[in-house]
Chain A
């Protein structure tokens, strides 16, 4: 198992470098002089010289990239142009909020999605199944920012049950989690349902029935366990999607977080902040995929053995 983990980590290295090159490249792909992109408009030539020296902008691209990487390794992601603080500080301030929201949404969609998918699969073509399927369709097609606004309108404005925005209390987490969670739940429910229905066709399930095990026990202990393996992989792959949902939803609910920071940076053309946010999100996506793979390996002896 350990060697499997190490091998998977090694596989991430080229991915990380590719992504970091793209993110590094942003500043050079943007029209205009990268120096100007890194500074406030109207900066003095002296300030330009400082920035040029700091980022090594007069050196060849490869050297600049290595310099950037080296600084990143030391925890220096540059200074925010508009917000005028080290990017690392901004990230450190915002990441906990995103983690809390993303984690809660992930937990919510996983639990509810697996439950709904299982219910649908064991009642295939019945009322419950049709209801879940309709829910999946709606849940995966509503734009999340719009859903967030509607929920806000209903629960905060009309009913006054929950805070409109911000992140001070735990109640403020409920609506954002629901907003992201609906899409995530639809995703997990769909995957669970398909995987369960596929597993039910397998020979070993027939033999479990022939052994005299009760149908419910077969479905919940054996079939579900198998169905969860592809679901975990999909979840790992889609952690990025849930984080992507967090980006939009944070903005709607005016919560601090990576998403809000990123949108702000995009609107203000604050490139160092943009780079920092994108880098963090990319790392989260990579870790998500890794965790999904590892959990699946832990669940499936075939993968475990094939890898060691």
Chain B
């Protein structure tokens, strides 16, 4: 089982700060998806690379990301 990022896409404002601070560069805006607020929400493109460092979640102004580490 890998680490887990749960992204509450409906609350995401697509600011991209999480992607900017992600050391693994595995977050990017989902240009194929528009949420109810009209934003392209963030998505993880390679969960297997995630180290559960939670930098994305700490930076996110809207508390959109929950991070769980595989134990």
Report if A and B associate in a common complex.
Answer: no
Q: Which B residues form the contact surface with A (CB < 8 A)?
A: none
A residues with CB within 8 A of B: none
